[in-house]
Amino acid sequence: MPSPYRAIFAAPGTASFSVAGFLGRMPLSMMGIGIVTMISQVTGRYGLAGALSATLAMSAAVLGPLVSRLVDQYGQRAVLRPVTLVSLAAAAGLLLCVQQKAPDWTLFVFTAVIGCVPSVGAMIRARWAEIYRGEVQRLHTAYSWESIVDEVCFIFGPILSIGLSTAWFPEAGPLFAGAFLAAGVFWLTSQRATEPVPHPKEGTRGTSALRSPGLQVLTLAFVATGAIFGSVDVVTVAFAEEQGHKAAASLVLAVYALGSGLAGAVFGLLRLKGEASRRWLLGICAMAVSMIPLLLAGNLPLLAVALFVAGLSIAPTMVTTMALVEAHVPRTKLTEGMTWTGTGLAIGVALGSSAAGWVVDASGAEAGYVVPVVSGALAVAVGLLGHRRLRRPAPNREGQRERYDDSGVGERQDGEQPVA
d(CA 391, CA 222): 18
CATH number at residue 294: 1.20.1250.20
Residue 142 resides in a domain: yes
Assess if residue 419 is contained within a domain.
Answer: no
What pLDDT, on the 0 to 100 scale, is given for residue 2?
52
**Within-domain flag for 203:** no
Residue 367 belongs to some domain of the structure: yes
Indicate if the alpha-carbon torsion angle 28, 155, 359, 220 is positive or negative.
Answer: positive
Q: What's the domain range around 232?
A: 14-197+208-412
- Domain assignment of residue 202, yes or no: no
- Res. 389 pLDDT band, cuts 50 70 90: confident
Going 174 to 178 to 179 to 183, the CA torsion angle's sign is positive
| Nearest CA-CA partner of 51 in 248, 234, 239 | 234
Higher-confidence residue of 155 and 220: namely 220
Q: Is residue 34 part of a domain?
A: yes
User: Would you call 268 helix, strand, or coil by DSSP?
Assistant: coil
Cα Rg, the chain, nearest whole Å = 20
Residues 207, 208, 214, 219, Cα dihedral to 10°: -160
- For residue 70, pLDDT over 60 is answered with yes
DSSP readout, 107-122? Answer: HHHHHHHHTT---HHH
- Could you give the CA distance from residue 320 to residue 325 in angstroms, rounded to a whole number? 9
DSSP for residue 418? -
**375 has pLDDT over 80:** yes
DSSP 297: -
pLDDT at 357: 81
Contact (CB, 8 A) for 319 and 197: no
Neighbours of 187 (CB within 10 A): 16
Greater confidence, 175 or 405? 175
- Determine, yes or no, domain membership for 3: no
Cβ(154)–Cβ(29) below 8 Å: yes
Average pLDDT over residues 214-233: 87
| pLDDT value of position 202 | 54
The domain total for the chain is 1
Biggest CA pair distance of the chain: 64
Of 115-129, 164-178, 266-280, where does mean pLDDT reach its minimum? 266-280
pLDDT, mean over the chain: 80
Query: 2 lies in a domain?
Result: no
**Which of 97-101, 115-119, 364-368, 398-402 is the least confident region?**
398-402
Residue 65, SS3 per DSSP: helix
Chain segment 339-348, per-residue pLDDT in tens: 788 778 777 8
Is 48 a residue whose pLDDT tops 70? yes
Cα 154 to Cα 124: distance, rounded to the nearest angstrom: 17
Give the global pTM.
0.72
* 3-class DSSP state of 9: coil
